[in-house]
Chains A and B, each alone.
Chain A
Amino acid sequence: FPAFSLCAGAGQDVGRSCILVSIAGKNVMLDCGMHMGYNDDRRFPDFSYITQNGRLTDFLDCVIISHFHLDHCGALPYFSEMVGYDGPIYMTHPTKAICPILLEDYRKITVDKKGETNFFTSQMIKDCMKKVVAVHLHQTVQVDEELEIKAYYAGHVLGAAMFQIKVGCESVVYTGDYNMTPDRHLGAAWIDKCRPDLLISESTYATTIRDSKRCRERDFLKKVHETVERGGKVLIPVFALGRAQELCILLETFWERMNLKAPIYFSTGLTEKANHYYKLFITWTNQKIRKTFVQRNMFEFKHIKAFDRAFADNPGPMVVFATPGMLHAGQSLQIFRKWAGNEKNMVIMPGYCVQGTVGHKILSGQRKLEMEGRQILEVKMQVEYMSFSAHADAKGIMQLIRQAEPRNVLLVHGEAKKMEFLKQKIEQEFHVSCYMPANGETTTIFTNPSIPVDISLGLLKREAAIGPVPDAKKPKLMHGTLLMKDNSFRLVSPEQALKELGLAEHQLRFTCRVHIQDPRKEHETVLRVYNHLKGVLKDYSVQHLPDGSITVESILIQATAHSEDQGTKVLLVSWTYQDEELGSYLTSLLKKGLPQSTS
Chain B
Amino acid sequence: QTELLDLSTVDVILISNYHCMMALPYITEYTGFTGTVYATEPTVQIGRLLMEELVNSIERVPKAQSASMWKNKEVQRLLPAPLKDAVEVSMWRKCYTMPEVNAALSKIQLVGYSQKIELFGAVQVTPLSSGYALGSSNWIIQSHYEKVSYVSGSSLLTTHPQPMDQASLKNSDVLILTGLTQIPTANPDGMVGEFCSNLAMTVRNGGNVLVPCYPSGVIYDLLECLYQYIDSAGLSNVPFYFISPVANSSLEFSQIFAEWLCHNKQTKVYLPEPPFPHAELIQTNKLKHYPSIHGDFSNDFKQPCVVFTGHPSLRFGDVVHFMELWGKSSLNTVIFTEPDFSYLDALAPYQPLAMKCVYCPIDTRLNFIQVSKLLKEVQPLHVVCPEQYTQPPPTQSHRTDLMVDCQPPAMSYRRAEVLTLPYKRRYEKIEIMPDLADSLVPLEIKPGISLATVSAVLHTKDNKHVLQLPPKPPQPPASKKRKRVSDDVPECKALKPLLSGSIPVDQFVQTLEKHGFSDVKVEDTAKGHIVLLQEAETLIQLEEDSTHIICDNDEPLRVKLRDLVLKFLQKF
Residues of A at the B interface (CB closer than 8 Å) are 93, 96-97, 134, 136-141, 169, 273, 276-277, 279-283, 293-294, 448-458, 460, 463-464, 472, 475-486, 490-491, 494-495, 497-498, 501, 503-515, 536-537, 539, 553, 577-582, 584-585, 587-592
**Do the beta carbons of A498 and B500 come within 8 Å of each other?**
yes
Q: Which stretch in B72-80, B186-194, B465-473 binds the other chain?
A: B465-473
What's the nearest-Cβ distance from chain B to residue A594, in Å? 12
A484-B450, A587-B555 known; A578 and B431 CB under 8 Å? no
User: Does B499 have its Cβ within 8 Å of any Cβ on chain A?
Assistant: yes
**Do the beta carbons of A97 and B427 come within 8 Å of each other?**
no
B252: chain A residues at CB < 8 Å are: 293-294
Report how far A141 CA is from B259 CA in the complex, Å: 15
What's the nearest-Cβ distance from chain B to residue A493, in Å? 9
User: Does B485 have its Cβ within 8 Å of any Cβ on chain A?
Assistant: yes
**Do the beta carbons of B499 and A507 come within 8 Å of each other?**
yes
Q: Which stretch in B88-96, B203-211, B231-239, B456-464 binds the other chain?
A: B456-464
Report how far A512 CA is from B434 CA in the complex, Å: 42
B448: chain A residues at CB < 8 Å are: 485-486
**Do the beta carbons of B490 and A585 come within 8 Å of each other?**
yes
Nearest-neighbor residue (CB-CB) of A483 within chain B: B451
B433: chain A residues at CB < 8 Å are: 450
A590: chain B residues at CB < 8 Å are: 553
User: Does B274 have its Cβ within 8 Å of any Cβ on chain A?
Assistant: yes
In B425-448, which residues have CB < 8 Å from any A CB? 425-434, 437, 440, 442, 445-446, 448
Contact of A457 among B259, B428, B449 (CB under 8 A): B428
Nearest-neighbor residue (CB-CB) of A515 within chain B: B553
Report how far A457 CA is from B427 CA in the complex, Å: 5
A472: chain B residues at CB < 8 Å are: 460
User: Does B257 have its Cβ within 8 Å of any Cβ on chain A?
Assistant: yes
Q: Give the B interface residue count (CB, 8 A).
A: 92
* Pairs across A and B, CB under 8 Å, 7 listed: A97-B270, A136-B115, A293-B252, A454-B145, A479-B455, A501-B449, A508-B547
A475-B459, A498-B498, A510-B562 known; A484 and B452 CB under 8 Å? yes
**Do the beta carbons of B114 and A136 come within 8 Å of each other?**
yes
Nearest-neighbor residue (CB-CB) of B275 within chain A: A280
Contact of A584 among B457, B468, B546, B555 (CB under 8 A): B555
The 0/1 profile, CB within 8 Å of A marked 1, for residues 472-493 of chain B is: 0000000000000110111011
**Do the beta carbons of A93 and B266 come within 8 Å of each other?**
yes
Report how far A577 CA is from B548 CA in the complex, Å: 10
**Do the beta carbons of A97 and B545 come within 8 Å of each other?**
no
User: Does B41 have its Cβ within 8 Å of any Cβ on chain A?
Assistant: yes
**Do the beta carbons of A536 and B457 come within 8 Å of each other?**
no
Contact of B490 among A458, A494, A582 (CB under 8 A): A582
B552: chain A residues at CB < 8 Å are: 512-513, 515
B293: chain A residues at CB < 8 Å are: none
Nearest-neighbor residue (CB-CB) of A148 within chain B: B116
Report how far A514 CA is from B552 CA in the complex, Å: 7
The 0/1 profile, CB within 8 Å of A marked 1, for residues 137-171 of chain B is: 00000001100000000000000000000000000
User: Does B249 have its Cβ within 8 Å of any Cβ on chain A?
Assistant: yes
What's the nearest-Cβ distance from chain B to residue A428, in Å? 27
**Contacts A137-B112, A537-B489, A580-B496 known; 6 new A-B pairs at CB < 8 A:** A140-B116, A281-B269, A283-B257, A491-B467, A509-B546, A584-B555
User: Does B497 have its Cβ within 8 Å of any Cβ on chain A?
Assistant: yes
B144: chain A residues at CB < 8 Å are: 454
Contact of B453 among A279, A479, A510 (CB under 8 A): A479
A140-B115, A485-B448, A506-B499 known; A452 and B431 CB under 8 Å? yes
B432: chain A residues at CB < 8 Å are: 450-453
What's the nearest-Cβ distance from chain A to residue B92, in Å? 33
In B247-270, which residues have CB < 8 Å from any A CB? 248-249, 252-253, 255-259, 266, 269-270
Nearest-neighbor residue (CB-CB) of A584 within chain B: B555
What's the nearest-Cβ distance from chain A to residue B290, in Å? 15
A479: chain B residues at CB < 8 Å are: 453-455, 495, 497
What's the nearest-Cβ distance from chain A to residue B293, in Å? 21
Report how far A138 CA is from B109 CA in the complex, Å: 13
Contact of B494 among A283, A515, A581 (CB under 8 A): A581
User: Does B550 have its Cβ within 8 Å of any Cβ on chain A?
Assistant: yes
A-B contact count (CB 8 A): 261
Report how far A495 CA is from B428 CA in the complex, Å: 18
A136-B112, A283-B257, A484-B450 known; A512 and B551 CB under 8 Å? yes
Report how far A587 CA is from B453 CA in the complex, Å: 28
Report how far A479 CA is from B266 CA in the complex, Å: 56
Contact of A482 among B454, B466, B562 (CB under 8 A): B454
**Do the beta carbons of B272 and A97 come within 8 Å of each other?**
yes
B434: chain A residues at CB < 8 Å are: 448-451
**Do the beta carbons of A475 and B458 come within 8 Å of each other?**
yes
User: Does B558 have its Cβ within 8 Å of any Cβ on chain A?
Assistant: yes
User: Does B379 have its Cβ within 8 Å of any Cβ on chain A?
Assistant: no
Nearest-neighbor residue (CB-CB) of A514 within chain B: B553
**Do the beta carbons of A536 and B490 come within 8 Å of each other?**
no
Contact of B272 among A140, A276, A498 (CB under 8 A): A276
Contact of B458 among A280, A464, A506 (CB under 8 A): A464
B145: chain A residues at CB < 8 Å are: 454
What's the nearest-Cβ distance from chain B to residue A535, in Å? 9
Report how far A577 CA is from B459 CA in the complex, Å: 28
What's the nearest-Cβ distance from chain B to residue A149, in Å? 11
User: Does B21 have its Cβ within 8 Å of any Cβ on chain A?
Assistant: no
**Do the beta carbons of A501 and B455 come within 8 Å of each other?**
no
Contact of B452 among A478, A482, A507, A579 (CB under 8 A): A482
User: Does B97 have its Cβ within 8 Å of any Cβ on chain A?
Assistant: no
User: Does B549 have its Cβ within 8 Å of any Cβ on chain A?
Assistant: yes
**Do the beta carbons of B114 and A140 come within 8 Å of each other?**
yes
**Do the beta carbons of B458 and A452 come within 8 Å of each other?**
no
What's the nearest-Cβ distance from chain A to residue B398, in Å? 46
Report how far A89 CA is from B91 CA in the complex, Å: 54
B355: chain A residues at CB < 8 Å are: none
A513: chain B residues at CB < 8 Å are: 550-553
Per CB-CB distance, the 3 closest pairs between chain A and chain B, nearest first, are A494-B572, A494-B498, A507-B546
Nearest-neighbor residue (CB-CB) of A497 within chain B: B572
A93: chain B residues at CB < 8 Å are: 258-259, 266, 269
Nearest-neighbor residue (CB-CB) of A573 within chain B: B553
Report how far A485 CA is from B448 CA in the complex, Å: 6
User: Does B504 have its Cβ within 8 Å of any Cβ on chain A?
Assistant: no
**Do the beta carbons of B465 and A481 come within 8 Å of each other?**
no
**Which of the listed residues B269, B272, B456 has the most CB atoms from chain A within 10 Å of its own CB?**
B272
**Do the beta carbons of A504 and B460 come within 8 Å of each other?**
no
Contact of A511 among B259, B489, B501, B549 (CB under 8 A): B549
What's the nearest-Cβ distance from chain B to residue A142, in Å? 8
Nearest-neighbor residue (CB-CB) of B453 within chain A: A481
Report how far A276 CA is from B226 CA in the complex, Å: 25
**Do the beta carbons of A578 and B496 come within 8 Å of each other?**
yes
